[in-house]
Amino acid sequence: MYRHFGEVDAAAASPLYERVAVALSESDEALRAIEAAPARKRHPTVILAALHDLALAGRAPALAAAYAAVDGDAAADAAIDTLLRMTNSVVAIAVRRKTRPNETGRYAVLYPAIAEAARRVGAKAVGLIDVGCSAGLNLHVDRVGITYSNGQSLGDPASPVQLSSSVVGDRPIPTRALPEVVARVGIDLDPVDVTDADDARWLRACLWPDQPERIARLEAEMALAATAPPLLLQGDAIELMPDAFARVPADALPVVTTTWALSRFPLESRLRFLHRLDEAAAGRAVAWVSVEGVGVAPTIPTLGDRRASGHSIIGLAVFDRSDLHAEAIGRCWSQGRLLAWLAD
């Protein structure tokens, strides 16, 4: 597993982690140390993030220095040494935490989809509810700047958080602005508070040390989120949905977002999630923007696409009392870095 991760998964994106992972795969002592972790916590992304966390915390200075110098050989030696000396600490971090990819391409998908939901309802203000929110970074979608490959742009051009996305196909992205966001609520079994030093360090640890652009973007995102921290609700999303809806003012449109979150739910739970949205719509309109694998989001058409086809469907469902209108408004690839808009 470690050799495959290094030679296949990390090879193109992180030469540093390629070298470290292969070195771990060749060390019997290191592999025995990794086996001290529960089976579900032995994956390279988890163990490498735990080692990175120790380096960032100042507890593994040799590893931190090797990462800072982007020295693959020194990092490999230091990673093995740290793992053998601090096995208990590595395992404790791996068990307590779950990896956070923090991909920010989803802003480019969410912004036009949320704006489209508001347009259809005629909403002048929205309240965002992000299910599976992690650190709640998606909840600041209105505060970032987005540039598309066809020359279009959305959001705030002066924002410290800027990203780009490639448009696939000839249909342009709608350029209407998001209305005022009056509530930001995240729901997660284990939410991450960017204002907490340990949580913020863990987010950094989940990034690969030799990817400075991603690191700089995360720092900018966390700084932006810290200026207006969202409300984070910890627990089961289905049970907490009524509480989340109650946090959105009555004159605002609640927009629930799920980005690659529902695949972790069994079908029965996904249907219960849908029922919660329908219940909330008894007194006012509710919108749901989904970015999920083909066939994962209930009621969202699959456009005839095959499951596990490598792309995701961008869905928009509007619940208005007894009426439900659901459609697929786009496709996206690579966590939102490529986007095809389909809606009129």
Q: What pTM was estimated for this model as a whole?
A: 0.92
Give tens-digit pLDDT for 134-185: 899 999 999 999 999 999 999 999 999 999 999 999 899 999 999 999 999 9
Q: Which residues are CB-contacts of 101 (< 8 A; sequence separation ≥ 6)?
A: 206, 335
244-282: pLDDT as tens digits:
999 999 999 999 999 999 999 999 999 999 999 999 999
What long-range pairs does 328-334 form, CB within 8 A, spacing at least 24?
328/300, 328/301, 328/302, 328/303, 329/113, 329/116, 330/109, 330/113, 331/168, 331/303, 331/305, 332/109, 332/291, 333/168, 334/105
Q: Cβ(139)–Cβ(289) under 8 Å?
A: no
pLDDT over threshold 80, residue 103:
no
Asked if the model's pLDDT at residue 104 lies above 90, the reply is no
pLDDT over 90 at 294, yes or no: yes
Q: What is the pLDDT of residue 275?
A: 94
pLDDT number for residue 125 = 98
Predicted local distance difference test score (pLDDT) of residue 289: 98
User: Which residues are within 8 A (CB) of 25 and not within 5 positions of it... i.e. 6 or more apart?
Assistant: 1, 2, 3, 6, 31
The most distant pair of C-alpha atoms in the chain lies apart, rounded to whole Å, by: 63
